[in-house]
Chains A and B, each alone.
Chain A
Amino acid sequence: MKFNIPSLNPSPLHREGLDSASLKMMVGILVVLMSIFLFALPLSAQESTPEAQPTRAVTSDDVNEVASGMFCPICENEPLDTCRANTCVIWRGEIRDMLEQGFSEQQVVDNFIGRFGQRVVDVPQDDGLRLLTFIGPIVLGLLALIVGIITFSRWRGGDVPPRVTTTSANLDAGNDDYRSQLESDLRE
C-alpha cells in the first residue's frame, strides 16, 4: 500500500495563500508558546547545589524535605516522606542521621543513589538519564510544533473565503442573527 502523505513543500496555491507577515506572526505565536515551555525547564532546573553543612539539630521537617524528592523502595511511586512502610521509616531515620552528621541534602541523596540506584529519586541525578528525561518532551514538543506549522500552512492555501469585515458576519455561524442582535444592542 502506498500512502500519499501531503508534502511539506507548499503547493503554488499554498504559496499564493501564504502572506509572509501572517506566516511570521503565526510561527512567532507558536515559537513563543513553545519557548515558554522550553525555557521553563532549565530555569526550574536551577536547584540549589549541594554544599557541606555544619553539624546541626535536625527536625522532622528537614528530613521530610529531603525525603519528599525520593521514593519508597517497596511501594512503587509512593514518596518517601509520606510512606508508612517500615523500610521507609528506617530510611527516614538514616536521612536524619546523615543530616545530623553534616551531610548536605544532595550528599544524602547521592548516598542513597549510590546504594540503590536512580530509582530512589523522583528525577534522575545522572546526566544521561536527566537528559533522557527532559529531552523527550522537548523533542516531542518540537514535533508537535512542526505539525502545527504544517497544519497552518495547509490551511492558508486553497479556496480562501472572502475576509469578512462587518461585525455580525464575524460571529458564530450557528448563531449569527442572535449575536448580530446582541452586538447592535450592546452598541446602543
Chain B
Amino acid sequence: MLAEIGITSTFLALAATIYAVVTATIGGKTHSERLVISARNAALATFPLLLLACAVLLIALIAGDFQINYVRSTTDPQTPVFYRITALWGSQEGSLLFWSLMMSLFSAGALILNWHSERRLMPYVTAYLMAVLAFFLVITIFLENPFERVWLIPQAQETQVVDSVLIPANAVAPLEQNLVNNAQGLNPLLRHFGMIIHPPMLYLGFTGFVIPFAFAMAALASGDLSSNWIKATRRWALVAWLFLGLGLILGGRWAYDVLGWGGYWGWDPVENAAFLPWLIGTAFIHSAMIQEKRGMLKVWNMFLVIGTFSAVMFGTFATRSGLVESVHSFARSQIGLPMFLFWSGITLVSVTMILWRWNRGELKDDHHNSGILSRETMFVLNNVVFVALSVAIFWGSFGAPIISELFLDETITLGSQYFMRVTPPLFAVMFILMGIAPVTAWGATSAARLGSTVLVPAVMTLVFVALIVVTGTTLPVAVISYGIVSFAGFVAIYEIYRGARARMRSKGENPVVATYSLFTRNRRRYGGYIVHLGITIIGIGVIGSTLFQTTTEQTLNTGETVAINEAYSMRFDRFEIQQATDGRIIDRAYVTVIKNGEDVAQLSPRIDQFPTMPMTIAGAHSTIENDFYVLLQDWDTDTFDSATFTIYINPLINLVWWGGLILIIGTFISAWPNETVPANLRNRSAIKAGARPIGATA
C-alpha cells in the first residue's frame, strides 16, 4: 500500500509539471491570466505531492518494508532509525526523488515570493522550472523508481523473480524472512553524522540555482531584458550559493572524519563537479551587482547564470552516470544518456537564446566603464579569475582525461599534483582582488585614493607577516601566501571598523550599537565583508594544513612511544576487538598523545569491519593550533601487541571549519531581507509602478 501511494503521488506530480509547462507557455504567449494562474497552481501542487512521496518512502524505510528494493538495498533490520532516515538520500533512486522534492520546494518559494513583483516573467519562469522538474521526475519514475518492488510469479517449472513498480499478473510477495535475509544495509561510508546534512545541503545548493536560471531564461523568452530578473534572483542565487558552500564544507568534514586519508579535499572529480557551480556562481553573484547598479555585463551575466546551472547539470550527470567513479559517485546506471542529452540540450538552447537576443541588440549595456581603477574593473578581473579556475578544474577533472581516452587511447587521471600546480596562483590573484575590489569605487577612482584606502590594511598585513616570521614561519611561499590571504581579511575588518567608527562619531552610538546599525543599514555590503573574512580564515587554514602537514607511518609495540616532531609524541597503550550492537566488529587501538612530555589526550583510532567493507575511523585531538590525527592501519593478529599507525599533525585545520561557519553567517546577513513589506502594500506599489496582470489591456 505504501508503494502504491508513493507511485501515485510521484506520477501525479509529473502530470502536474507537464500540465504547468503547457499551460504556462500557452498562457504566457496568449496573455491568458486564467491559464497562467492554473499553471502556477499546478506547479505549487508538485511540492505537497512530492513531500507525500518522500514521506511514504521514509515510512517504508523506518518500518522496514523490505519488499521495496530501495529499502532492502539501503537498510537492514539492524540499521538504526537515524540511518534509516538518512537512507532516503543514500542511494540513486531515493536521492533523485529527494532532489525533485528540493526543486519543487524552491520552485514553490519562487512562485509565491516573486509572483507579484515579476508578473511578466512568471509564466515563463513557471514553464522552465517545471520543465526541469519534469525531466527529473521522468527519470525517477521510468528509470530509477524508488518504489520498485520484488515479486514472485509461480510458473510450471520454477518461480520467476520480477522487479516491478506495478503488481504483475499472478504475482505474489516473497516471504518476509527471505526479504530480510537479503537486506544489505546502508553503505558504511554514509553512516556518519555529516551525511544527515551534507547531501541535503548540496541538493539545496544544486536545485536552488534553478531559480536564477529559470528567471534568466524567462527574461530571454519574454524579451524583458532589463535588470529585473537579476534583482528578482539575487537572493535566490545567494541562498543556493550558501547551501552549496555549506554542502562543500560539510563534505570536507565528512571526508576528514570518514574516508581516512588525513585531509578534507582530494580533488576527486565528484568533489570538483560540486565545486564548479560554486565557483561560477560566485562569479555571477559579483557580476550581478554590476548589472544591478550600473546596467552593465548583461550578456556576461546571462552566460554566467546559465553556466552555473549547466555546471550543476553536468556535475549531476557526471556523478550519477558512471562517467567518473569515486567514493562520492553513484553506481553506473541507465540514466547517463538521458542526463547527458538533457544537460547538452538545455545548455545549447540557453546559449542559442542568448546569442539570438544579443544579435537583436537587446542585451546592450546601459553604461560604459569610465575608469580602469573602478569596482567594475575589479569585478571583471574577479570574474576572469573565477572562470579560469573553473576551466582549469574542469580540464583536470574531465577535459584532459576524456580527450586523452577518446583521441589518444590512453587513460589518464589527474590528481592533486596537477591541481596544486594550476590553482594556487589563481587563488592568490582571487585573494588580492578580494582585498582591493571592495574599497574601489563604482565608476572611477584614483590610484592615490585607492592607495590611501588600503594603506591601513596593508600595514596591518605587514605587521601580521612580520609576526609570523618572528614566531618561526620562514618558508617563503607560506609567508607570501599568508600575506596575500590576510590582506583580504584585514580590508574587511578595517572597512567594518571605519563604518562603525563613523556611526559612533556622527550618531554618538556605542561600538556595539554602531556595528549593529551598520549591518542592518547595509546587510549586503557588510554581510559581504563577513563572507570575505570567512574565506580569509578558510584560506589561512588551507595554507597551514597544506604546507605544514606532518605525516608518518609507524609500527609500535605496546607501551612504545614514538616522537612525531619536536613537540608531539605518541604512545601505543593497547589493542581491543569489540562487537557493536549492529553486528560490526570493531578493531580498536588505544593511544596517548604526549605534548612536551605531558599526556594531553587519549585517542582510540579504529576500524569498523562491516560485511561489505571496512571503515577507518580516525582518532583526533583537536585544538585551534592543530589536529593530532591518528589512523589505525594494521596490527599483529596473533598477539595484538603491535600495531601500525599513520599519524598526521594538521596545523590550523580547524580554521577551515570555523571559516566556513563565518562564511555561512555572512551569507545569511547578506541574503536577509532589509525590510518586510505587507503583501497588500507590495501589490499597491507594484500597480503604482506600472505593473499589470497578464492579459490586462494597456
Chain A contacts to B: CB under 8 angstroms: 1-5, 17, 22, 25-26, 29-30, 33, 36-37, 40-41, 44-45, 59-61, 64, 69, 71, 75-79, 82, 84, 117-119, 122-124, 126, 128-129, 132-134, 136-137, 140-141, 144-145, 147-148, 151-152, 154-164, 167, 169-175, 178, 181-183, 185-186, 188
Contact = CB atoms under 8 A, between A and B. Distances in A.
> Which are the 6 A-B pairs with shortest beta-carbon distances?
A122-B415, A170-B441, A60-B553, A155-B369, A82-B261, A182-B502
B669 to A, nearest CB: 16
Contacts of B377: 26, 152
B499 interface: yes
A77 to B, nearest CB: 5
Contact of B296 (A1, A26, A155): A155
Nearest to A116: B411
B404 A44 contact: no
A117 B415 contact: no
12 contacts: A75-B325, A77-B325, A77-B326, A136-B399, A144-B391, A155-B296, A156-B369, A170-B443, A170-B445, A174-B293, A185-B501, A185-B502
Nearest to B613: A84
B639 interface: no
Interface string B151-172: 0000000000000000000000
B414 A133 contact: yes
A161 B429 contact: no
A175 B442 CA distance: 11
Contact of B413 (A59, A76, A140, A161): A76
Contact of B521 (A84, A158, A178): A178
Interface residues of B, number: 84
B49 interface: no
Nearest to B294: A173
Contacts of A75: 325
Contacts of B503: 182, 185
Contacts of A134: 422
Given A76-B413, A119-B412, A170-B442, A152 B369 contact: yes
Interface string B399-443: 110011000101111111110111011101100000000000111
A106 B502 CA distance: 61
B368 A170 contact: no
A117 B410 contact: yes
A60 B552 CA distance: 8
A33 to B, nearest CB: 5
A77 B371 contact: no
B10 to A, nearest CB: 33
A136 B395 contact: yes
A167 B441 CA distance: 9
Interface of B: 260-262, 266, 268-269, 293-294, 296-297, 300, 324-327, 355-356, 358-359, 365, 367-372, 376-377, 380-381, 384-385, 387-388, 391-392, 395-396, 399-400, 403-404, 408, 410-418, 420-422, 424-426, 428-429, 441-445, 449, 498-499, 501-503, 505-506, 521-522, 525, 551-555, 614, 616, 644
A79 B262 CA distance: 12
B429 A37 contact: yes
B413 A77 contact: yes
B498 A36 contact: no
Contacts of B425: 36-37, 40
A97 B400 CA distance: 33
A83 to B, nearest CB: 9
A61 B260 CA distance: 17
A152 B683 CA distance: 40
B416 to A, nearest CB: 6
B355 A156 contact: no
A22 B372 contact: yes
Given A33-B381, A82-B260, A140-B391, 11 more contacts: A2-B359, A3-B355, A4-B359, A30-B384, A64-B551, A119-B411, A122-B415, A132-B404, A137-B395, A158-B368, A159-B368
B522 A45 contact: no
Contact of B443 (A17, A137, A161): A161
A137 B391 contact: yes
Contacts of A119: 410-413
Nearest to B418: A123
A69 B324 CA distance: 19
Contacts of A164: 443-444
Contacts of B294: 173
B522 A123 contact: no
Contacts of A4: 359
A29 B35 CA distance: 53
Contact of B422 (A41, A82, A162, A182): A41
B408 A37 contact: no
A78 B327 contact: yes
Nearest to B270: A77
A141 B421 contact: no
Given A4-B359, A118-B411, A148-B380, A41 B421 contact: yes
